[in-house]
Amino acid sequence: MGKPTGFMEIPREKVAWKHPKDRITSFLEFQVEHDLQARQDQGARCMDCGVPFCQSNYGCPIHNLIPEWNDLIYQGRWEEAYYRLRKTNNFPEFTGRVCPAPCETACVLGINEPAVTIKDNEAAIIDRAYENGLVIPRVPKIRTGKKIAVIGSGPAGLSAADELNQAGHSVTVFERADRIGGLLMYGIPNMKLDKKLVDKRTRLMAQEGVTFKTGATIGGNIKIQHVLDQFDAILLSTGSTRPRDLQVPGRDLEGIHFAMDFLTLNTKSYLDSRFEDGNYLSAKGKKVIVIGGGDTGNDCIGTSVRHGARSVVNFELLPEPPSGRTAEFPWPTYPRVLKSDYGHQEAEHQVGAGPRQWSITTKEFLGDGKRKLNGVKTVRVQWKKEPGERPTFSEIPGSEETWEADLVFLAMGFLGPETSLLDQLGVEQDGRQNVKAEYGKYRTNHPKIFAAGDCRRGQSLVVWAINEGRGAAREIDTALMGWSNLLG
């Protein structure tokens, strides 16, 4: 695949980002795509590796046909590359921007050389397909008469709806927010995923026959019995939306917020009025502390910098990871290595130092005597791991510190789906309070109800949500029709 000697001749070149000083004044995407020849050169680096681990279980959860479309990029056959990509991925414009690219860490070339730029290549294929008018409505010619309700419009719900609609079923997607997209719309900032792309894709799906209902809360303004009576099958794809809290003294002080509340209000205000309505949590001139690493923490950092925060500090309980693979994470596993994401770079540009503090835990939130936050008390920790045991940490005596803070954002992950709807439906939950449904089957204890995505598997990646949405669509199609030709 690709040029036989391409991986020896052509260096890896990631898509360029605008300099931090040129991007922190805007909530627009900041990637600068290569010219046509440079992108084809990156496709040429895909080697004839024999066993493409990039599309294995170690790499891409939806098993994208990566070597095939890399080769087509190299040959300049962009239309064919798009059709191969579309075969396995409903939304490459999303994964090509927000996926952490486990395909690249599983790339065979990556054993001893920089891996192929698979994620950038994917984004280039779909962006060119849109530009060239290849992404057009595909309206099913035959309808089965079966009606399916999808509750939740994140990546799992949308991918399932897309697949089921293409199978000829009538699909209605219920979303309690005012816009379609779930996590894709309000959980990811606009500079990381332009919401015009989400709108463009959902408009296309509507033209293909999918019905979208916003402001629709099942068990609230829409009766559960109505949904059970009107639809032949129901898919729960409500996500994992219960944030992990930090119950330490001072938690009730004004100025402490969950990260997703901050990000959601920010994006909604940006889309509604470009912030003119003032309906968001502003970090302008504030001393911000983000507790928790990961993508959500990084997004809080980048958003705070754009607001004009006075300072931004990021607390991470875990120790600083190594810069490269260790024996703990051998190829082709996804390694925990040190990465500098866009928010980290921007905060460093603003204040002259990286924002992250490693191996640190919060002991108390401090107030000003008027119930307002003005500081955080922390202590450093030391990690230890015995063979065959889970890592543990202990506090380091004498390492207590006090940090000034006007705003704290809690970005420590999620505990599972909200349980109100599940209780009303009588759907069983597993030991982690996720919807109980076997992977690959997606069936709950209710004969009409299936579950997919984060509400079933727990907090995970967008690409895994697409995997589950596609798989659940296949199982629903089989349950209703007795067979299915959906790939899953």
Question: How far apart, in whole angstroms, are the C-alpha atoms of residue 373 and residue 370?
Answer: 9
What is the torsion angle, in degrees rounded to the nearest 10, for the CA atoms of residue 253, residue 190, residue 291 and residue 466? 120
**Phi/psi of residue 156, each to 5°?**
-70, -50
Residue 234: pLDDT band (50, 70, 90) is very high
Q: What is the DSSP string of 270-289?
A: HHHHTTTT--S---TT-EEE
pLDDT at residue 385 is higher than 80: yes
360 DSSP β-pair partners: 380
Per 3-state DSSP, the chain is made up of helix, strand and coil in percentages (nearest 5) of: 35, 15, 45
Q: Which of the two residues, 386 and 220, has the higher pLDDT score? A: 220
**Mean pLDDT score, 321-346:** 94
- Residue 332: is the preceding peptide bond cis (ω within 30°)? yes
Cα–Cα distance between 175 and 28 in angstroms, integer?
Answer: 25
Q: Do 147-241+415-481 and 256-410 have matching folds?
A: yes
Encoding tokens for residue 162?
């897309």
pTM score, whole prediction = 0.96
pLDDT at 353 over 90: no
Instruction: Please name the fold of domain 256-410.
Output: FAD/NAD(P)-binding domain (3.50.50)
Question: What are the DSSP calls for 149-198, one per residue?
Answer: EEE--SHHHHHHHHHHHHTT-EEEEE-SSSSTTTIIIIIS-TTTS-HHHH
Domain boundaries, the chain: 6-131, 147-241+415-481, 256-410
Q: Is 217 exposed, middle or buried (0-12, 13-18, 19+ CB in 10 A)?
A: middle
Residue 352: band (very low, low, confident or very high) from pLDDT cuts 50, 70, 90: confident
User: What is the pLDDT at residue 351?
Assistant: 82
How far is the C-alpha of 301 from the C-alpha of 296, rounded, in Å? 9
In the block, residue with structure tokens 């391409």: 6
Count of residues for the chain? 488
CATH number, domain 147-241+415-481: 3.50.50.60
- CATH fold of the domain at 6-131: Fumarate Reductase Iron-sulfur Protein; Chain B, domain 2 (1.10.1060)
Structure tokens, 326 = 């260790």
* Residues 9, 174: Cα–Cα separation, whole Å: 51
